[in-house]
Structure 1
């Protein structure tokens, strides 16, 4: 499990996007969500706070596309189980946040407005 988490953060930390929201910010905001993605259970409050922060910071299509790419690259760079992916995809709804994209390795980030 440690290698899974390390790989996730290496992918995120070294991917720089053009958006105003850096991948490092995405890492910081979503780090509290990893326990839920990997183990399930209750979504930590600081995870939901991070998702809300990212959603409020990503004001332009370029920002939203950049955040989407950071998340997508992280998901695509690590072998997650279908249960882990389902947990990740459920986060926005569980936190009451309406993201303009799905957390999925197949999301087309270029189509986000």
Structure 2
């Protein structure tokens, strides 16, 4: 458990330390995705508040610039900490499991500039 909690804490610190790139700030991304941290780390049942956060974040990112900013925030956080392939898979599958269609994949290799 400690091996999972430390990377998640580092993820949150790295997100919080970055400035806003679009109308949706990285602080808003953290606030909306924070309830998802346990699922990403351990799997199991997705908290309802996690899906609510993903829906809210998707709704707040109205323009291409907003969506690109959210993507960059998530991508930089994923790139700043070592995650297992299982953790990355859990993160990538969250939107679909919550019934939200994002215009990008949650993955460190996503090209955020290509998001429309």
Match of 1:38 in 2: 41
Matches within 5 A, 1:91-106: 91-106=94-109
Match of 1:88 in 2: 91
Count residues with an aligned counterpart: 113
Matches within 5 A, 1:1-113: 1-113=4-116
Question: Offset of 1:28 from its aligned partner?
Answer: 0.4
Consecutive unaligned residues in structure 2, runs of 5 or more: none
Question: Offset of 1:2 from its aligned partner?
Answer: 2.7
Instruction: Measure, in 1, the Cα distance between the counterparts of 2:80 and 2:65.
Output: 22
Question: Offset of 1:3 from its aligned partner?
Answer: 1.6
Deviations 1:36-58 (A, max 9, x none): 00000011100000000000000
TM-score normalised by length of structure 1: 0.98
Deviations 1:2-55 (A, max 9, x none): 321221011100111320000000000000000000000011100000000000
Deviations 1:61-103 (A, max 9, x none): 0000000000001110010000000000000000000000000
TM-score normalised by length of structure 2: 0.95
